[in-house]
Amino acid sequence: MKERRIGANIIGFVFLVFMGFPVYWMVTTAFKLPKDVLRADQKLWPTSFSLDNFRMAFSRDYFVQSIMNSLIVVSVTVVVSLFLALLASIAVARTNFRGRSALVVMILIVQMVPLTALIIPLFLQLSSLGLVNRLPGVILTYIAFVLPFVIWTLRGFLAGIPVELEEAALVDGCSRPQAYRRILFPLLAPGLVATGIYAFIQAWNEFLLAYIIISSQDKQTLPVWLAGFTSRTGTDWGPLMAASVVAAIPAVVLFSFAQKRLAVGVTAGAVKG
Amino acid sequence: MAAPTTEGRRQALWSYALVAPAIIVMLGVLGVPMVRLVLLSFQQYGIDELISGTAKYIGIANFTAIVQDAEFWAALRRTVLFTAYAVTGSIALGAVLAHALVRMSTVLRWVVNAILIIVWSMPQLVAISIWRWMFSFDFSIIASVIRSLGFTFPNRDWFVNPVMGFGIIGLVVIWGAIPFITISLYAALTQIPRDYIEAAQIDGANRWHILRHIQFPLLAPVYVILITLSVIWDFQVFSHIWVMLEFRPSPDYYTLAVYAFQTSFGISQYGRGSAIAIAMVLVLLGATGYYIRRMIKETR
């Protein structure tokens, strides 16, 4: 037993370095003095501590604006997609209607169509709707892209709540919407939080669609703003790493809360012991 | 199917009403563009058409053009090789780590898990930017570390040689894919009942036997899902290439996704770009269609 542990620990340690080093390098670079960032010979261990890179990043144009844009995009995406998905998943999980399995198939197929293939017609579509270079264009796109997963996951949470509870409420004289509001929603709350966090992270992290749809600087979301640190003359590495730390924190924090509920979803039930 | 009673019909109507808003959004934003992608691939569609909003159908001219285009075949070859490299790397490394996690000391497992979650949840652009910084021309930590080991290794443009460039870009993709693959495999591994393994050990099975005859067969369905998803994701890698090469990759780095994008948005040949995208979807469907159908059947 003992020597097996050692082998596993060595593998674990190697992966810790491989997976962790880029994160370490981002954080230590962010906190270095700017003159230590731009050195031909880099040192593995931090040699200085300063917040200059953060100051330089925050004083770049459109920093606050792009955070605001990201927050608008994220909050509308989360609220609207959760609402639409809640309605749809109730229908999928609780009733058996014609076309139900077609919907399930569609949800799966939608998740598998290459984004890079869809971008071209999507851009032209948004262009003809007058939604190019506007936040509503980004929001609408994000809602559609997170909906399949959100519906799918909520359906899973719903399936775990016994239908008898609602039926009992119906027998006791509740209307269907009342039964949903008083019985179902409170039980579903943890599922709503987890899927809401998923939608938040997707919308907060997404780069490519926003990069294509948005062209003016005052409408950039945070990842598009980050891409602007690179110009033809080079990249502002120190401030870029500082801003990257800031951009990564919300997603990392939220995800560590929701990970247990979301992670297993994809492959759950695949092993039948 | 519900009996055609009034109650049944009312319930069905109620269900349709609940699903309709989500369906309309998904059809409008995803369904319509999918159809439009097919139509576009048969059209002459450039800047003029974008402005006027009308387009002329030109039959299969876009497709005959790409089939005769050497650049297309080179891009297809690069895409296939890159996908093979990235999928093999991420599945193999993810599997090794998942099996090690099961037997690792609790503290180390906790730390590795934390790192996996950080990497997993990081915005893609942040992840790519870090690697671009690690492999920058003038200030690369990797070059510095190699030098500190005593080798002569001047700072360099890592992407002059596309083989090395794709090697690095693939590493970024693999690094980003390991958390999802590892955590999925680890979750599946811990679902295997302990009795199976104990029974095998009593019968004299060693670790390799357990891996080969118990863990691997039981995990096979999970592997199929993970490989299929990885092929789909890695085949269409775009942002990694685009951002690592500072938003202007040289033709040596055109995979199908980059080539389709460049043809559409770079030189405004949207019809031709769509034809490349369609070819990409067809190749992908050919490679994974069977498994996707099986996955759909199982989830029903």
Output Rg (C-alpha) for chain B, integer angstroms: 24
Task: Let me know: does B262 contact B71? Beta carbons within 8 Å.
Answer: no
The CATH class for the domain spanning B63-299 reads mainly alpha
What ipTM does this complex have? 0.91
Delimit the domains of chain B by residue range: 63-299
Average pLDDT score over chain B: 91
pLDDT at A265: 47
Closest partner residue to B19 (CB to CB) among A103, A140, A208 is A103
- List residues bridging with B56 in a β-sheet: B44
How far is the C-alpha of B267 from the C-alpha of B285, rounded, in Å?
A: 27
Topology of the domain comprising A61-228: MetI-like fold (1.10.3720)
Kindly determine whether residue B123 and residue A247, on different chains, have CB atoms separated by under 8 Å: yes
How far is the C-alpha of A154 from the C-alpha of A87, rounded, in Å?
A: 10
Kindly determine whether residue B222 and residue A267, on different chains, have CB atoms separated by under 8 Å: yes
Kindly determine whether residue A92 and residue B19, on different chains, have CB atoms separated by under 8 Å: yes
Q: Give me the numbers of helices (H) and strands (E) for chain A, helices first please.
A: 13, 2
- Count how many pairs of residues, chain A against chain B, have C-beta atoms within 8 Å: 322
pLDDT tens digits for range A208-252: 999 999 999 999 999 999 999 998 888 999 999 999 999 999 999
Write the CB contacts of A177 (distance below 8 Å, at least 6 apart in sequence).
none
3-state secondary structure of B82: helix
Write the CB contacts of B68 (distance below 8 Å, at least 6 apart in sequence).
none
Write the CB contacts of B125 (distance below 8 Å, at least 6 apart in sequence).
A205, A207, A223, A226, A227, A247, B239, B243
Which parts of B135-161 fold into alpha helices (H)?
141-148
Kindly determine whether residue A244 and residue B130, on different chains, have CB atoms separated by under 8 Å: yes
How far is the C-alpha of B86 from the C-alpha of A99, rounded, in Å?
A: 38
Q: Is A269 left (phi over 0), alpha (psi -120 to 50) or beta?
A: left
How far is the C-alpha of A70 from the C-alpha of A77, rounded, in Å?
A: 10
Q: Which of B230, B236, B243 is nearest to B124 (CA)?
A: B243
Task: From chain B, pick out residues whose CB is under 8 angstroms from the CB of A208.
Answer: 238-239
Kindly determine whether residue B129 and residue A240, on different chains, have CB atoms separated by under 8 Å: yes
Residue B110 in tokens: 């906790």
Residue B245 in tokens: 């090469």
Q: Which of A70, A196, A50 is nearest to B123 (CA)?
A: A70
Looking at chain B, the whole-number percentage of residues with pLDDT higher than 90 is 70
| Residue B251 distance to chain A (closest CA, Å) | 18
Strands A230-231 and A234-235: antiparallel
B1 has a pLDDT exceeding 70: no
Closest partner residue to B29 (CB to CB) among A38, A141, A240 is A141
pLDDT band at A266 (very low <50, low <70, confident <90, very high): very low
pLDDT tens digits for range B221-236: 899 989 998 999 999 9
Delimit the domains of chain A by residue range: 2-55, 61-228
State whether the Cα torsion A230-A236-A241-A245 is positive or negative. Answer: negative
How far is the C-alpha of A103 from the C-alpha of A271, rounded, in Å?
A: 25
Amino acid code (one letter) for A206: E
How far is the C-alpha of A115 from the C-alpha of A122, rounded, in Å?
A: 10
pLDDT at B37: 94
Other beta carbons within 10 angstroms of residue A185's beta carbon come to 12
Closest partner residue to B139 (CB to CB) among A4, A38, A176 is A38
pLDDT band at A92 (very low <50, low <70, confident <90, very high): confident
